[in-house]
Amino acid sequence: MRFFIQDIMTKAERFRKVIEYFSRSNPVPETELRYRDPFGLLVAVMLSAQCTDRRVNMITPVLLKAFPDPASLAAATQEQVVTLIKSCSYPNNKAKNLIKMANMLIEKFGGKVPEEPELLQQLPGVGRKTANVVASVLFKKPVIAVDTHVFRVSVRLGLAVNAKTPLDVEHQLEEHIPPEMRHKAHHWLILHGRYICRARKPLCEKCGLTSICKYYKDKNKASR
């Protein structure tokens, strides 16, 4: 009978082991979105909704060369922006929101990207996940953005239990991850989900967390 550490592990111990593992294997995790300034990151994160970081990194250099700051983007037409971002998903909606976002940055925030997630969510096209990404990456705020990768990895590892929504996962992660570690945890879980714990055909043989992974345990039970 195969023994799994998780059989006798508390949730707090599970989080501790996950944090220890990633602290060793990826001590300085970073976003894969390329950007030069806060405005550039905000634009990139807005474009990344249902679009790969690789694709966004192909779009933003051209877009931000044409519209490098809130003032220039606010003055753009939707057609001008769509032409430059048409290779990403939902270009019409994203173009409209980017222009509205730039206008609000000027009118309400003096042309600067606000630091607090609650203020970021006031911007058109910026939901909770986008706001948390920007606040975490730029300002090291103690928040965790839950995308499909974070959701999947958290559930599979047993970090989130009976979670039905991204907010459920966010609350469970923040309950157990120290505030000073959350900006790192966000990247750890995204990158692990993107390259190892993939939605289809996860690379369990390359994962260092199989001994505590509920998904791996269940998969092995089913194969016996």
Is 129 marked active-site? yes
What's the rounded Cα separation, in Å, for the pair 151 and 137? 19
**Three-state secondary structure along 84-115?**
HHCCCCCHHHHHHHHHHHHHHHHHHHCCCCCC
Is 37 marked active-site? no
Helices (H), ranges, the chain: 11-25, 38-47, 53-66, 70-74, 78-85, 91-109, 117-120, 128-139, 148-157, 166-176, 182-195, 214-223
Report DSSP state, residue 19.
H
What's the rounded Cα separation, in Å, for the pair 167 and 186? 14
Q: Which of 129, 141, 184, 217 is catalytic?
A: 129
Asked whether the beta carbons of 31 and 137 are under 8 A apart, the reply is yes
Q: Which of 94, 141, 147, 184 is catalytic?
A: 147
Residues designated catalytic:
129, 147
